[in-house]
């Protein structure tokens, strides 16, 4: 019997979200700027002995005991097993450092991490490119979810990257940043949990429809430009001004993001966001599709205590940046 555990990071997307949907980048170039954090999704695979009367055991927020893959309810587990043509009996356990359905890309982190573990089960070390591409295919084509393409790449590659999307290819480009500025990101980035969960594929339905009808292009075109403006700020600005400039750009991006759909924000989120800015945050955004999940802010050190006080009813996520992407952290026969 084998046991394998994969560890896959979640992400914070800062700029360009929305341009990574095929409905946009099949027509125009898209790009995103984001980073991964040390809050992980873990997938444990254990081959099942013949003594049990089930073939697959899947443990997450509920437990499934099934005799055939067709009986599996978890969409990504079912799709990945079919895609990889895995039929051997398995015990699959899914856990995470943070709640699911909260805008940090945990669904795609799971898909990437599960594929990584399935490859390891076959004795194959999958490349990051392969994991990202196949996770996109599984989620967008096999499951048919309304998801973009950045989360899968963040999960596979890890680190701080710019992803560029077109109808013909997806390019991965690490952001060139000094160690000092990277430490400034960790010192200025605060993340709070709103307590609201949602299904991203439902939240973005209106946004996708508006993107397909071209009515969102004026906002998305500008959000695409911001990715490269942010890259220029990180590269060219001094340590003293880089975070305030990025924060101002992030604030502009959040105001544009809210125009993409009526489902992006709500009065509670708007109040929390306004309170953080009044307390001294440079700017921020709601992570992910919208309408719940985590709020991220760039905050000068002198204002951190005020922002925390204003948002004291929300749980804060303590984290560090990570650079590894999806990895196999345990493997034993």
Q: Right CATH number for 3-175+322-332 from 1.10.40.50, 3.50.50.60, 3.30.230.10, 3.90.1150.30? A: 3.30.230.10
Q: The tokens of 172 are what?
A: 């991965």
Q: Is 297 left (phi over 0), alpha (psi -120 to 50) or beta?
A: beta
273-287: average pLDDT:
97
Using the predicted structure, report yes or no on whether residue 143 has a pLDDT greater than 70. Answer: yes
Residue of 160, 155, 168 lying closest to 129 (CA atoms): 155
Confidence category of residue 108, pLDDT binned at 50, 70, 90: very high
Using the predicted structure, report yes or no on whether residue 290 has a pLDDT greater than 80. Answer: no
Question: Is the distance from CB of 145 to CB of 128 less than 8 angstroms?
Answer: no
pLDDT at 123: 95
Compute CA 109 distance to the chain's CA centroid, rounded to the nearest angstrom.
Answer: 7
291-305: average pLDDT:
94
% of the chain at pLDDT higher than 70: 98
90-110: average pLDDT:
93
Between CA 126 and CA 169 the distance in angstroms is: 19
What residues pair up with 10 in beta bridges, in sequence order? Answer: 37
Q: Where are the domains of the chain?
A: 3-175+322-332, 179-320
Tokens 């999960």 label which residue?
Answer: 155
The predicted-structure confidence for 32-82, as pLDDT tens digits, reads as follows 999 999 999 999 999 988 778 889 999 999 999 999 999 999 999 999 999
Confidence category of residue 235, pLDDT binned at 50, 70, 90: very high
Q: Is 160 left (phi over 0), alpha (psi -120 to 50) or beta?
A: beta
Pairing mode of beta strands 294-298, 321-322: unpaired
The predicted-structure confidence for 177-214, as pLDDT tens digits, reads as follows 999 999 999 999 999 999 887 666 667 888 999 999 99
233-241: average pLDDT:
97
Q: Right CATH number for 179-320 from 1.10.1740.10, 3.40.50.150, 3.30.70.890, 3.30.70.20? A: 3.30.70.890
In the predicted model, what is the mean pLDDT of the chain? 95
Report residue 37: phi and psi, to 5°: -125, 165
Q: The tokens of 16 are what?
A: 């360009």
Report residue 256: phi and psi, to 5°: -70, -45
Confidence category of residue 231, pLDDT binned at 50, 70, 90: very high
């Amino acid at each position: 019997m084998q046991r394998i555990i994969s560890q896959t990071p979640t992400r914070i997307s800062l700029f360009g979200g929305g341009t990574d949907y095929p409905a946009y980048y099949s027509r125009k170039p898209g790009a995103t700027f984001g980073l991964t954090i040390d809050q992980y999704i873990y997938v444990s695979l254990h081959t099942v002995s013949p003594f049990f009367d089930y073939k697959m055991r899947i443990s997450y927020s509920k437990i499934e005991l099934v005799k055939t893959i067709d009986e599996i309810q978890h969409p990504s587990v079912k799709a990945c097993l079919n895609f990889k043509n895995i039929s051997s009996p398995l015990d699959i356990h899914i856990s995470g450092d943070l709640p699911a359905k909260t805008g940090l890309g945990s669904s795609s982190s799971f898909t990437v991490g599960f594929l990584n573990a399935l490859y390891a089960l076959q004795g194959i070390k999958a490349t990051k490119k392969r994991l990202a591409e196949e996770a996109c295919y599984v989620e967008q084509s096999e499951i048919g979810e309304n998801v973009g393409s950045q989360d899968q790449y963040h999960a596979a590659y890890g680190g701080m990257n710019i992803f560029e999307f077109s109808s013909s290819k997806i390019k991965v480009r690490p952001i060139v940043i000094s160690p000092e500025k990277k430490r400034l990101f960790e010192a200025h980035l605060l993340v709070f949990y709103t307590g609201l969960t949602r299904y991203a594929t439902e939240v973005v339905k209106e946004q996708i429809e508006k993107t397909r009808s071209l009515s969102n292009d004026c906002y998305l075109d500008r959000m695409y430009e911001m990715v490269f403006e942010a890259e220029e700020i990180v590269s060219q600005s001094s340590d003293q001004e880089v975070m305030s400039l990025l924060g101002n750009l992030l604030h502009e991006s959040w105001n544009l993001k809210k125009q993409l759909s009526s489902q992006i924000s709500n009065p509670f989120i708007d109040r929390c966001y306004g309170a953080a800015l009044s307390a001294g945050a440079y700017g921020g955004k709601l992570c992910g599709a919208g309408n719940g999940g985590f709020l991220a802010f760039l905050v000068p050190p002198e204002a951190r205590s005020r922002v925390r006080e204003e948002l004291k009813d929300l749980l804060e996520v303590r984290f560090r940046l990570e650079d590894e992407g999806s990895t196999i952290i345990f493997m034993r026969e």
